[in-house]
Amino acid sequence: MFIFTKMTQIPVRINNKNPKLASYILSQYGGPDGELGASLRYLSQRFAQTDKSGIALLTDIGTEELGHLEMVGSIVTQLTKGEGAKSFDRYGVGDYYIDHANGVYPASAAGVPFSAAYLQSKADPIADIMEDMAADGDTAKFIPLENHCLQLKN
């Protein structure tokens, strides 16, 4: 069971709108190494664990990754809220708007929908941890933030 506290530890507040940047960040939501895959990866791998502390650790990490979904979804929502088709098209992501409007849809930056093929659960602790480290190791380093500044409110 999970207990959900209805507050984020650090609230997400963004001043500017930018659907293009949102399309990059969206990959952190439902892309191949995004938070949705990470949460499912850890929560699935926990069932093959025989050690109680390993089960607890994977459950805790998977739950934390679910919290990251909320943060990433909030960022994408705030970057696109109130923006219409013309704005999405101006930023070169009009195709996304056609299918999802301002919705947060789990997909990669290239528009590929989330797939369970992004994750693995082998019932081998070494193979599973290698999978986890590979997925967590490269996330978010390819987002060209120098061209798309986020102005965060305090």
Q: In degrees rounded to 5, what are phi and psi of residue 100?
A: -130, -5
Is residue 67 within 8 A of residue 38, CB to CB? The reply is no
What integer pLDDT is reported at residue 52 of this predicted model? 92
Cα distance between the two ends of the chain:
34
Q: What is the dihedral of CA 34, 37, 38, 39, to 10 degrees?
A: 120
Residue ranges in the chain assigned as alpha helix (H): 19-25, 27-30, 35-45, 52-80, 85-90, 94-100, 125-137
Taking residues 67-71, report their average pLDDT: 88
Distances (CA, A) of 111 to 91, 100, 123: 15, 11, 31
Q: How confident is the model over 13-34, as pLDDT tens digits? A: 888 898 889 988 999 999 988 9
What integer pLDDT is reported at residue 6 of this predicted model? 67
Per cent of the chain over pLDDT 90 is 23
Is residue 19 within 8 A of residue 102, CB to CB? The reply is no
More confident residue, 86 or 145: 86
Q: Which two tokens mark 10?
A: 């650090």
Domain ranges of the chain: 28-139
Query: What is the topology classification, in CATH, of domain 28-139?
Result: Ferritin (1.20.1260)
pLDDT > 70? residue 70: yes
